[in-house]
Structure 1
Amino acid sequence: MDEHIKIGDVAPRVQYVADGAQASFTYPFPIFEAADLEVRLDGLLLATGFAVTGAGTSAGGSVVFDAPPAPGRRVTLRRNLGVARTTDFQENGILRARTLNDELDYQVAALQEMQDGLGSALRLDPAEVGGLAPLPLAAARANRLLGFDSTGGVALVDRGEGTISVPFPGAVPRTVEDKLAERLSARDFGALGDGAADDGPALQAAMNAAAASGKVLEVGEGTFRTTMPLTLPGAAAGLSMRGTILYAGPPGHAALTLGDGGAVDNQRKAYLGLSVFRALQSDWLDEADIGIRLRNINESRVEIRRAERFTIGVQLVGDARGCEDSDLHYGRIVDNRIGLDLRTLTAGGWMNALRHHGGHFACASATNPGMGRFGVRLSAAPGAYRLHNANLFHAPAFELQRQGTPGTVDAIPFLIEVDGRGLVARGVRMEACSPFVARHTGGFSDAVYEVAYVGAYGFAGCGVDYAGATRAGGTVLPLHQAAAALGTPRLVAEASSVRARAFRWDGSATGFEGLAVLSGNPAGPPATLNGFCFPGLSSIALNADTVTLPTSRALAFVVDCTTCKEFFLAAEGSGLRPVAMQFDAAEAVLDGTASVLWSNMNAVWQGAPSHWWEGNADLDGLVGGLALNRLQRVTLAPQAAYAVIGVRGGHADAGLKSLRLYVPATEAPMVLAGGGRAWGTRELAASMPYTLPSVAAGGSATQAVTLPNVQSGDLVQAGFAGQASAFLDWSAAVTTTGASGTVTARAANRHATLAVPSAAVAGTLFVRAIKPRA
């Protein structure tokens, strides 16, 4: 405080009646700090939803609400100081006037509050002498009224009403008034539930009473129409509904809010039978238009029978605290753009360990037909905590009406906009939905969707759409597709000992059976699959049992991914980085617009000349102390027809032992190696039409055959298909090497006297070369 505060003769309390438009209310008395001001609405103490200005000034200040209080609500502003010494004067110290004035001001302000409180108390007239006797003990005054005798002294008077007791042994008689006070009902406060009267003020008064008494509020049978949004504070023990709230209030609000926001924990509550219906269908444009909002629930049980016609049907909010360890049961969640939203609002909020049961998430075909809709969303406000972990959904049903076949709008059961782990959805039913059970737009790592049924408009699929995602974090188990086989993925390619598959390709290069060798800096660079996949390269070190891969080399399986886009890569070794390349149906390499996703790490596009996607971590790298990277799921782009999937060296001493590639059990993609491809095989072969001449006794005939890539030291053989004598011995020798290498085949006649064959024979000459193991 720049100037010394002055405590005038001003009562420390002021009250207003809200008009529904005014949001700022002044207080004419001084306060020392904002926390000294007590703010109440209809007697209910507020902790959040407003800001206090003017603390430390003599003239007071203002309270500004985030939203104007509803018309007719009573606003009370009251100074409430703690009674405590704020200074301590030192013996023989300097007594400063400012410090002394501050202490005296604080005491005067506290005395003003006592005077204000005494003004509301019963007390003797100043003309009367003496005082009243103390109250009788609790046992003596129970179930009696406090009154005065003939002399004006305190006396106990009978209540004048009978008592009742329940018809069971040990029951204690109680007054009817006590018995009725056990439970709070909305009708006790004037709510009619006829669907026509505005029950909003009565419902809010009942909710305030439940909070003040710490009891459960009952809303009985009927339709309770309200033109104002309702809030049940967290101090209430719970809410039990058998009727329905018909919301006819302004748009852009939550019709029913349960619990407190901020850092207040809404713990161990029971919200049962919740049912909210919007009078007019929302246009789905405003996400503040919410049916039921639950804030910071913890260790609670929630039962929602109905939430219909809002932009968001049900929203769980993690504010400065979060939602966790609760069971939620859902009924009809209908005609909402987002049926259920699990949302964090701040960096201190969370959304973990929630168990969601059932729910019919549906939209009518005529409801906003041009707009996309989602059953369940996991979301976070900008800057809020984004890790939503361990949410379990049991048997949710989605009937979202995708508007035609194959669908002109999004109608997707799960929309995952955040990061996190451990979303499991079991027994999912999909009717009239898009061909996706989920859309991931963030870095969610582990989600399992067990789809029990897909129907209406025919089977349209149930995959995961990765629109802007950074992780391939979803696995779909379609129970209607060979359910018994889904527990075990299919092994499609295996190098159980990569070292044992090594062979000498030429004098400086090493190849591996079944695998292509990749370069991180290929010359050219190439543009097609055959150009990028080498049969062998140099700079790969062979150890006794392992292979050392430098950062510029990779070993990979080559697959036809026209149909199958999901693969699982497992590697044994150290310092290995996963890599993948993609090619179109013409085998042209795809660029960085065709993204690849890994399941537990981010994908990094390396660009030209390598054109590969790689993970941003090693497969043996630890995540939070756990080896979560060893099995990586790789999700390929829709336009990919061929892919190269494997590992490169993450550092100069990276060692590879074994490499395996899996696919879901319903897939069987082709693995490309050898045959018409140069890589992955030790055997080279060539043939040519050949007319075998008659070979004189003891003589021989030779023929050179072009065999590209043959090298000195390769095991070469020759054979002839055509009529010939058993006296001819065929042999072969490498005569030239390299890209235009040749093998010379030789036929030697072992017969001592006859020419073999007796006449020239037309046929085919075959040669082959086998590379030696390295």
Structure 2
Amino acid sequence: MDDHIKIGDVAPRVQYQADGVQTAFPYPFPIFGPEDLEVRLDGLPLAAGFVVTNAGASEGGSVVFDAPPRAGARVTLRRDLIVARTTDFQPNGVLRARSLNDELDYQVAVLQEVKEGLGNALHLDPSELGGTTTLPPRAARANRLLGFDSLGDIATFGRDEGLMTLGFPGAVPRTVEDKLAERLSARDFGATGDGATDDGPALQAAMTAAVASGRMLEIGEGTFRSARPLVLPGAAAGLLMRGTILYAGPAGQAALTLGDGGAANNQGKRYLGLAVLRAVQSDWSSEADIGIRILNIDACQVEVRRAERFTIGVQLAGDARGCEDSELRYGRIIDNRIGLDLRTLTASAWMNSLRHHGGHFACSSATNPGLARFGVRLSAAPGAYTLHNTHLFVGPAFELQRQGTPGTVDAIPFLLEVDGRGLTATGIRMEACSPYVARHTGGFSDARYEVAYVGTYGYLGCAVQYQGATRAGGTVMPLHQAAAAIGSPRLVAAAENIRTLAFRQSISVSDGIGFDQMAVLSGNPSGPPSTLNGFCFAGLNLFTLNADDVGIPTSRALAFVVDCSGCKEFFIAAEGTGLRPMAMQFDGAEAVLGAGSPVLFSNMNAVMQGPPSYWWEGNADLDSLTGGLMLNRLQRVTLSADAQYAAIGVRGSSAAAVLRSLRLYTSALHAPRLLFGGSRAWGKREYTASDTGWTVPALAAGATATYDVTLPGVRQGDFVRAGFAQSSGFQNGGVVFHAAVGGTAGTNQVRVTAQNISGGSITLGAGTLFVRAVKPRL
């Protein structure tokens, strides 16, 4: 450059805060070359991604980034020269002013950097003289804190003296005791953990301190015996346990309560490693005898290592609010009547969206052997909110000891006493349990149990037991069977196009209509009947046969009749409008069953119509909307254990009811028999009979002979045909047989006419006469 660089009194450092748009940042101090400028972004040096301009200019230049630094980023530009002599003046050589100026400029620039560095260093104020600023020897300062004495000189202190500040930006000065007390330890309050000393007062004092300070409490290794119930209110940050609480306090109380009752929010807490053991096995007489009680959790993490020997091992409870959106993990939940209880206590509480992982829910064979026991219970206090929903259980194991084969006490993994919907349990292990994975006693819907293993010394099943329930809300997937088959339901019966199945059936009424393979039921049968054959009609009137569907009045139902002796679970799928699911049940003698043998539907309540119809029906239409969703479209139908035969189908709920198609399914484990035709009057369009009592007389040319055949069910208008067979000697071409409905008795008879159409006399003699009648399609 023509002009010599000038080193002004400008600090060799400048900082900016990026706005996300600007790319060029000026530096007001001179540099000799681009390599002399250090560029940092948020304190980190950059080696590329920018260009340095105007190196060698007295007024400085700019740094131009390839892309704008993000908004808020700190940009630091600093001159950083190499401290080294790179030139030398030769003896007797020419001393040029420019060379000398360059050397002096470089030295001034380096001194500016040294001055700036010293300004950022720890040093005494210029007004201070003397004092000790040298660090003590290594041995003298080891394991001690560095500070200043009363004269302001450097000194060292013990860790329990004065304040300390960690080496992080913004660290708050505090005592060592305060630092160590960030997490409280039960031993800080006198708890021994020796299993013999009553640590209850010390543990409660620690919990009270954790609440007052809002800190996490730690209960370390050991066995902490407590003769009193312990409570850690929700104001504490949480609880970490590595040891075990041995509860030796009064019966009928919760050994450990976490969180508050009322409206206090137990939110975002961590309760880890919880372990409570009752010193003496509970007799299960009081449900207030609880191991760990957790109140009103929301977005919490809970880990229960063990809860043993109580009536209820672990209870999640909600009162003025509820429990939701939390992750829970379980270990040994042993020798409790109810391992885990999810319970609402008031009408304003809830129990929703909880994810449960693992857990070994087990009982010893000698523990209260005459009493029922359950792994997980969903419950509500009287008058409390019952609509529990969305619980996920992953990999729970149940070994509940049903006491003998077959079991003599109830030992059932899940007990659902509430309404609500949405429980999914996957990877369930059942060992020595009852042949039920769940018992439902309320109106719970949409519960799915995926059973991975059943060990009962011979597979006894893992069904859902409905005991006083109002909904058939459970589905079981036993994975020890072929999974693909279990996942695909079996079609029992299908009326893919109900309109094409209608035919004239005047057995019951003169203008009756029947349907292939289906029974017609009346809402007001005369009598009333008392048996299956009396209630299931072959055909009735009042149906409307439209071009592509069938109108069903409120007084009629169409049903498939099944042998349900080995299968009690069916599914109805229907297309149409204004249709309600229905089911009628019969015992092994085909006598009708009444209100004492309830039928359950999955997404609606069942209503018993009582005499004279005796059928159960849903309280909503299959095509009705629930919250804008067609939850009723596919209905599970769960029959009573008393039922051996059942008619399952739909009835019209209004004058505008229309049916287009109807299907009946069941689990792939079963293939129930469909009843129609044969000895049953319904669902049969074709009638046949054979008769060996006619010896056709000798027929002259053109002569005829008649014979009447009894064919129950045949009526005028039916299509009838006749055939005649002899063991030998039949003159096939000479005699023809005609058939028509009617005879001497008229009803249930077909008259057969044999006509000789040959030119000579024919004698047929004895043979077998076959008659066939077909009801006309409508």
Give me the TM-score of the superposition, normalised by structure 2. 0.77
**1:309 alignment partner AA:** R
Flag the 1:344–1:160 CA change in 2: closer, same or farther, 3 A.
Answer: closer
* Shift, 1:543, TM fit: 1.0
Moved more, 552-561 or 479-488: 479-488
Match among 520, 530, 537 for residue 523 of structure 2: 520
Match among 729, 732, 739 for residue 726 of structure 1: 732
SS in 2 for 1:184: strand
The whole-number CA distance in structure 1 between the counterparts of 2:227 and 2:748 is: 90
The whole-number CA distance in structure 1 between the counterparts of 2:613 and 2:745 is: 25
Q: 2:753 aligns to what?
A: 746
CA distances 1:748-768 after superposition (whole Å, capped 9, x unpaired): 2232224153xx1x3221111
Flag the 1:739–1:377 CA change in 2: closer, same or farther, 3 A.
Answer: farther
The whole-number CA distance in structure 2 between the counterparts of 1:359 and 1:417 is: 21
The whole-number CA distance in structure 1 between the counterparts of 2:308 and 2:743 is: 81
Match among 606, 610, 619 for residue 607 of structure 1: 610
The whole-number CA distance in structure 1 between the counterparts of 2:394 and 2:296 is: 22
**1:470 alignment partner AA:** T
Q: 2:100 aligns to what?
A: none
Q: 1:510 aligns to what?
A: 513
The whole-number CA distance in structure 1 between the counterparts of 2:256 and 2:711 is: 80
> Aligned pairs, how many?
621
Flag the 1:285–1:256 CA change in 2: closer, same or farther, 3 A.
Answer: same
Asked whether the equivalents of residues 159 and 176 of structure 2 are also in contact (C-alpha less than 8 Å), the reply is no
The whole-number CA distance in structure 2 between the counterparts of 1:402 and 1:739 is: 65
* Shift, 1:475, TM fit: 0.8
Q: 1:462 aligns to what?
A: 462
Q: 1:196 aligns to what?
A: 196
* Shift, 1:160, TM fit: 7.8
**1:734 alignment partner AA:** V
Asked whether the equivalents of residues 715 and 747 of structure 2 are also in contact (C-alpha less than 8 Å), the reply is no
The whole-number CA distance in structure 2 between the counterparts of 1:721 and 1:390 is: 70
Instruction: Please tell me whether residue 560 in structure 1 is matched to residue 566 in structure 2.
Output: no
SS in 2 for 1:486: helix
Moved more, 449-458 or 302-311: 449-458
The whole-number CA distance in structure 1 between the counterparts of 2:190 and 2:427 is: 44
Asked whether the equivalents of residues 160 and 176 of structure 2 are also in contact (C-alpha less than 8 Å), the reply is no
Q: 1:56 aligns to what?
A: none
Q: 1:365 aligns to what?
A: 365
Match among 763, 767, 770 for residue 767 of structure 2: 763
Q: 2:321 aligns to what?
A: 321
CA distances 1:42-92 after superposition (whole Å, capped 9, x unpaired): xxxxxxxxxxxxxxxxxxxxxxxxxxxxxxxxxxxxxxxxxxxxxxxxxxx
SS in 2 for 1:205: helix
* Shift, 1:224, TM fit: 0.3
Flag the 1:284–1:705 CA change in 2: closer, same or farther, 3 A.
Answer: same
Q: 2:187 aligns to what?
A: 187
CA distances 1:505-537 after superposition (whole Å, capped 9, x unpaired): 134111111110001111111111111111100
CA distances 1:555-599 after superposition (whole Å, capped 9, x unpaired): 000001010110001111111111111111221111221111111
The whole-number CA distance in structure 2 between the counterparts of 1:310 and 1:160 is: 45
Which has the higher Rg, Structure 1 or Structure 2?
Answer: 2
SS in 2 for 1:469: coil
Flag the 1:159–1:609 CA change in 2: closer, same or farther, 3 A.
Answer: closer
The whole-number CA distance in structure 1 between the counterparts of 2:767 and 2:732 is: 16
Asked whether the equivalents of residues 353 and 391 of structure 2 are also in contact (C-alpha less than 8 Å), the reply is yes
* Shift, 1:162, TM fit: 6.8
What is the correspondence of 1:303-702 to structure 2 with a 5 Å cutoff?
Answer: 303-506=303-506, 507-689=510-692, 690-702=694-706
* Shift, 1:651, TM fit: 1.2
CA distances 1:202-249 after superposition (whole Å, capped 9, x unpaired): 111111111111111100000000011001110111100000000000
What is the correspondence of 1:203-352 to structure 2 with a 5 Å cutoff?
Answer: 203-352=203-352
SS in 1 for 2:635: strand
The whole-number CA distance in structure 2 between the counterparts of 1:745 and 1:617 is: 52
* Moved >4 Å (runs of 4+): 157-160, 162-175, 736-739
Q: 1:706 aligns to what?
A: 710
Asked whether the equivalents of residues 703 and 756 of structure 2 are also in contact (C-alpha less than 8 Å), the reply is yes
Moved more, 259-268 or 159-168: 159-168
* Shift, 1:603, TM fit: 1.0
The whole-number CA distance in structure 2 between the counterparts of 1:416 and 1:436 is: 13
Flag the 1:585–1:256 CA change in 2: closer, same or farther, 3 A.
Answer: same
* Shift, 1:163, TM fit: 7.1
Asked whether the equivalents of residues 324 and 351 of structure 1 are also in contact (C-alpha less than 8 Å), the reply is yes
SS in 2 for 1:428: strand
* Shift, 1:165, TM fit: 7.8
The whole-number CA distance in structure 1 between the counterparts of 2:611 and 2:170 is: 87
The whole-number CA distance in structure 2 between the counterparts of 1:679 and 1:766 is: 22
CA distances 1:165-192 after superposition (whole Å, capped 9, x unpaired): 8899999997532431222100011100
**1:553 alignment partner AA:** R
CA distances 1:388-426 after superposition (whole Å, capped 9, x unpaired): 100011111000011111111111101100001001110
The whole-number CA distance in structure 2 between the counterparts of 1:335 and 1:688 is: 73
* Shift, 1:625, TM fit: 2.0
**2:411 alignment partner AA:** A
Asked whether the equivalents of residues 185 and 220 of structure 1 are also in contact (C-alpha less than 8 Å), the reply is yes
**1:574 alignment partner AA:** T
Flag the 1:676–1:699 CA change in 2: closer, same or farther, 3 A.
Answer: same
Flag the 1:158–1:564 CA change in 2: closer, same or farther, 3 A.
Answer: closer
Asked whether the equivalents of residues 267 and 299 of structure 2 are also in contact (C-alpha less than 8 Å), the reply is yes
SS in 1 for 2:195: coil
Structure 1, gaps ≥5 residues long: 1-142, 150-156
The whole-number CA distance in structure 2 between the counterparts of 1:737 and 1:274 is: 90
Give me the TM-score of the superposition, normalised by structure 1. 0.77
Q: 1:176 aligns to what?
A: 176
The whole-number CA distance in structure 2 between the counterparts of 1:666 and 1:474 is: 16
The whole-number CA distance in structure 2 between the counterparts of 1:318 and 1:650 is: 41
The whole-number CA distance in structure 2 between the counterparts of 1:331 and 1:553 is: 56
* Shift, 1:476, TM fit: 0.8
The whole-number CA distance in structure 1 between the counterparts of 2:745 and 2:226 is: 87
The whole-number CA distance in structure 2 between the counterparts of 1:537 and 1:260 is: 65
Moved more, 207-216 or 337-346: 207-216
The whole-number CA distance in structure 2 between the counterparts of 1:589 and 1:457 is: 37
Asked whether the equivalents of residues 516 and 535 of structure 1 are also in contact (C-alpha less than 8 Å), the reply is yes
CA distances 1:340-360 after superposition (whole Å, capped 9, x unpaired): 000000011000000000100
Asked whether the equivalents of residues 709 and 739 of structure 1 are also in contact (C-alpha less than 8 Å), the reply is no
SS in 2 for 1:383: coil
The whole-number CA distance in structure 2 between the counterparts of 1:510 and 1:772 is: 10
SS in 2 for 1:197: strand
Asked whether the equivalents of residues 144 and 158 of structure 1 are also in contact (C-alpha less than 8 Å), the reply is no
* Shift, 1:739, TM fit: 8.8
* Shift, 1:691, TM fit: 2.5
